[in-house]
Amino acid sequence: MTKYNPDQIEERWQKFWNEEGFYHSDIDHNKTKYYVLEMFPYPSGKLHMGHMRVYSIGDVLARFLRMRGFNVIHPMGWDAFGLPAENAAIENRVNPARWTEKNIEQMKKQQNRLGISYDWRREINTSSPDYYRWSQWLFLLMYKRKLAYKKKASVNWCSDCATVLANEQVEKGLCWRCSSPVETRELEQWFLRITDYADRLLYDLDKLDNWPERVKVMQQNWIGRSEGAEIVFKIKEFPGEEIRTFTTRPDTLFGVTSMVLAPEHPLVKKLVEDTERETEVLDFVAKVRQESEIERTAEEAPKIGLFTGCHVINPINGEEVPILVGNYVLMAYGTGAVMGVPAHDQRDFLFAKKHGLPVRVVIQPDGEELSDQTMTEAYTGDGKMVNSGPYNGLDNVEGIGRVTAYLADNGLGGFQVGYRLRDWLISRQRYWGAPIPIIYCEKCGALPVPDADLPVELPLEVELSGNRVPSLAHYEDFMHTLCPTCGGPALRETDTMDTFICSSWYFMRFTSPQSDDAPFEPRAVDYWMPVDQYIGGIEHAVLHLLYARFFTKVLFDAGLVKTEEPFSRLLAQGMVYKDGAKMSKSKGNVVTPDEIVEKYGADTGRLFILFASPPEKDLDWNDQGVEGCHRFLRRIWRLIEECREEFDTTAGNSEYTGKEADLERSVHAAIKKVTHDVQDRFNFNTAISAIMELVNAIYTYRQSVENNDHNHGVVRDAIEKTVLLLAPFAPHLAEESWHNLGFSESVHLQKWPVYEPDKLVVENIEVVFQINGKVRGRVTVPADSTEEQLIEEAHHNERIKELLAGREVVKVIAVPGRLVNIVVR
């Protein structure tokens, strides 16, 4: 008998599968396609457990669906631009491109060692010119469709790193990387007009029936659509000027007691110019602008405001209201001006209390009497309008429409939809990214790089300066070019693109990665898209998924793809913990895929990761659990080895009794359960349990027959089915076993087993129904009916129902296989 030796069998089969091109798939209109995709990784060089988990999930599906007869595409690639390569360049004095190449090589080896079934012909690397050429081309498509534009914007700036930081990269006002203070700067930046697609991105969420609800809610909140009114306020001291503001509560317009402007609001300077308040206000503005948006808008942050000395005129009642500058109002959201209604907005309430502004109740709830004097917090609910002139007594919901109509009729504003979503800032002042393909000519202005001149290639030799990789502005050869229109000297754009652009369309490139006259071939993208099953972390619930949806819609509008949504089904897998904590170096609780593969083999690691927890739930790494999975695989191995010997040495019998029927039933029950759990519910853990039960059933049968006089036919069938069911989970062991059973073709080319419903039917028996111990009925039920099923059966029996009518049931006793006794009073 040979021993289970994963080391030896796994690498052998991996080599075989790769050499035979097992996982290559091509367009085939006679088959139903299925696109399985795991979010492609950043090539850090190290595969961690989170990776192993997501790839194992994807691989089970891909292998299962292939056996089910689908034409499965399962590609993998590298999201290779981004900051870590620059940091590594500084630390190790290596070229970012070389560093990235090396990491890719390393991670690919690790992925292959897990036996993941990728079609490596489709591999892409977003930092290679033949990929980013098309990222640039897509940027220009946006530019030509007026969806890419440049404007001045306030950004978080770290002068030490000489770069713009995303909000998430600012921690307590400091740069996450170097801890120097972050300031706000006005820079010319490139944006994509994602706000043009806000409504479609919102409403099309309804079409995504197979997305987790929480992801859809997160996207919905991020888009943040709200209906309300735009209101125009004239300024008393500057009759020609006006301030526009958006509110969802125009019904509270009579309760306005202040107007608060963002420090960045273009009017602030003018309002205080040459007044005694000028220095104080402008100093305040400068100070606030040093702070990040997150700090300014944090709930616990103090709401500070300064009076400008000017007033707006309330368009509905002509009242004069002071204008302040407040730290918590952001220019980038809405209009940068907020009308303060302290009685009916909590933030305004806190601000008014702090600055002694009046509170005026204009909505009175039913059955309660609010008073300006006694309120301790704002009232934001519905009610009757009061202190509101001609609207007094009106229901406030009706008031919203009436006030809005008044404003519209009088040219003072009107209905408007507001969004929290802002345009996507894509400029990065970084070296390691796709250069933005724009040329600036003094005579002709900003011009797109002609398609024929793409890609605009990154200079490959990096000149490190001190502790940073300088941006493209430092590369003279790169910067100077000729104007495509007049031929005169011109300069290139030196910003590179946000890496989220590269990952917004890679799933389409996978359909035809060699295409060199378009980002993808129409026939390939039409055949393979959309992605049928996308798998990745919940941390991508908003940005990546929203950007990918946005790109897909733009490409749809441009007639380049036929699908408006890129991902039909989405699975957000949970985290991997160890001993209740996130795996981290500092806690010393890191387990790497390499260690597990070395100790137990890839099949054990994959099986444990799928068995320990359903994919959407967090997973606690547990060494005993890994051991247990390894023992289970050894158990299967031993079983097959024993049976093989037996098939060779004993004749067996052809007896078919209750025992053989039981085993057959176990086989068909397992097929049914595994199929259902994998296909409809991704409950890989319960699917694996079902395989374990089947293995137990085979052992039980073998032990129950005396003198090893087994029915070889039934045992053999049970074992073959076990191996087929196991193939997606433990692909190497299944492959080796399949061959050991005498087959010459790969197990992964076999058809998925199908269960026969009549093989599932168990024998029927008769049970009696009793009331107070007297037999009142008989019924035939499956022999394995449980207590609950029997009681249920009794309650549905017409005669029993009649006899129970009007009587109180005290107790119900069910004895499986025999009776149900109902005790009544």
Of 31, 149, 178, 778, which lies in the binding site for Zn ion, with binding defined by CB under 5 A? Answer: 178
CB of 465 to Zn ion, least distance (A): 15
| Per CB under 5 A, 171 contacts Zn ion | no
| Per CB under 5 A, 444 contacts Zn ion | yes
**CA distance to 267, 275, 290, 325, 518, per residue, from 283 (Å):** 16, 14, 11, 12, 53
The set of long-range contacts for 650-654, using a CB threshold of 8 Å and a minimum separation of 24, is 650/708, 650/709, 650/710, 650/712, 652/709, 652/710, 652/711, 652/712, 652/713, 652/715, 653/709, 653/710, 653/711, 653/712, 654/711, 654/713
Nearer to Zn ion (CB atom), residue 87 or residue 770: 87
SS3 sequence of 605-642: HHHHHHHCCCCCCCEEECHHHHHHHHHHHHHHHHHHHH
Burial readout 482-495 (b: 16 or more C-beta within 10 A, e: otherwise): ebbeeeeebbbbbb
Percentages (nearest 5) of helix, strand, coil residues in the chain: 45, 20, 35
Of 166, 298, 397, 486, which lies in the binding site for Zn ion, with binding defined by CB under 5 A? Answer: 486
CB of 85 to Zn ion, least distance (A): 17
Of 12, 269, 443, 818, which lies in the binding site for Zn ion, with binding defined by CB under 5 A? Answer: 443
Nearer to Zn ion (CB atom), residue 485 or residue 689: 485
Nearer to Zn ion (CB atom), residue 177 or residue 676: 177
Structure token pair of residue 603:
């099949």
Nearer to Zn ion (CB atom), residue 138 or residue 175: 175
* Distance (Å, whole) CA 242 – CA 231: 10
CB of 292 to Zn ion, least distance (A): 13
Give the binding range for Zn ion (CB under 5 A) out of 177-185, 395-403, 680-688, 793-801: 177-185
Nearer to Zn ion (CB atom), residue 482 or residue 749: 482
Contact 458, 443 (CB under 8 A): no
Contact 472, 496 (CB under 8 A): yes
Of 175, 271, 541, 583, which lies in the binding site for Zn ion, with binding defined by CB under 5 A? Answer: 175
Of 87, 485, 589, 750, which lies in the binding site for Zn ion, with binding defined by CB under 5 A? Answer: 485
- Residue 172 makes CB contacts below 8 A (sequence gap 6+) with 295
Give the binding range for Zn ion (CB under 5 A) out of 62-70, 173-181, 493-501, 691-699: 173-181
Nearer to Zn ion (CB atom), residue 164 or residue 501: 164
Q: Do the bridges between strand 531-537 and strand 33-38 make them parallel or antiparallel, or are there none, so unpaired? A: parallel
CB of 448 to Zn ion, least distance (A): 13
| Per CB under 5 A, 62 contacts Zn ion | no
Nearer to Zn ion (CB atom), residue 161 or residue 229: 161
* Distance (Å, whole) CA 7 – CA 601: 6
CB of 176 to Zn ion, least distance (A): 8
β-bridge mates for residue 230, sequence order? 246, 414
CB of 333 to Zn ion, least distance (A): 26
CB of 453 to Zn ion, least distance (A): 14
β-bridge mates for residue 306, sequence order? 325
Nearer to Zn ion (CB atom), residue 120 or residue 176: 176
Q: Segment 141-160, which members bind Zn ion (CB under 5 A)?
A: 158, 160
Nearer to Zn ion (CB atom), residue 398 or residue 442: 442
DSSP secondary structure of 412-428: SEEEEEE-S---EE-EE
Count of CA atoms in the C-beta half-sphere (13 A) of 120: 16
Query: Can you tell me whether residue 213 is helix, strand or coil?
Result: helix
Nearer to Zn ion (CB atom), residue 161 or residue 767: 161
Nearer to Zn ion (CB atom), residue 178 or residue 460: 178
Q: Segment 403-442, which members bind Zn ion (CB under 5 A)?
A: 441
Give the binding range for Zn ion (CB under 5 A) out of 168-176, 530-538, 740-748, 787-795: 168-176
Give the binding range for Zn ion (CB under 5 A) out of 267-275, 484-492, 604-612, 810-818: 484-492
84: left (phi over 0), alpha (psi -120 to 50) or beta: alpha
* Distance (Å, whole) CA 217 – CA 804: 49
Give the binding range for Zn ion (CB under 5 A) out of 298-306, 400-408, 485-493, 640-648: 485-493
* Distance (Å, whole) CA 728 – CA 66: 10
* Distance (Å, whole) CA 58 – CA 697: 29
CB of 628 to Zn ion, least distance (A): 47
| Per CB under 5 A, 483 contacts Zn ion | yes
CB of 175 to Zn ion, least distance (A): 3
CB of 489 to Zn ion, least distance (A): 9
Nearer to Zn ion (CB atom), residue 167 or residue 700: 167
Burial category of 413 from C-beta neighbours within 10 Å (exposed 0-12, middle 13-18, buried 19 and up):
buried
CB of 166 to Zn ion, least distance (A): 12
Nearer to Zn ion (CB atom), residue 181 or residue 614: 181
Contact 583, 48 (CB under 8 A): yes
**Residues near Zn ion (CB under 5 A), total:** 12
| Per CB under 5 A, 166 contacts Zn ion | no
Nearer to Zn ion (CB atom), residue 483 or residue 697: 483
* Distance (Å, whole) CA 411 – CA 552: 39
CB of 464 to Zn ion, least distance (A): 16
Residue 610's closest CA among 688, 691, 672? 688
Of 47, 161, 361, 671, which lies in the binding site for Zn ion, with binding defined by CB under 5 A? Answer: 161
Residue 467's closest CA among 155, 88, 173? 88
* Distance (Å, whole) CA 20 – CA 38: 23
Residues engaged in binding Zn ion (CB under 5 A): 158, 160-161, 175, 177-178, 441, 443-444, 483, 485-486
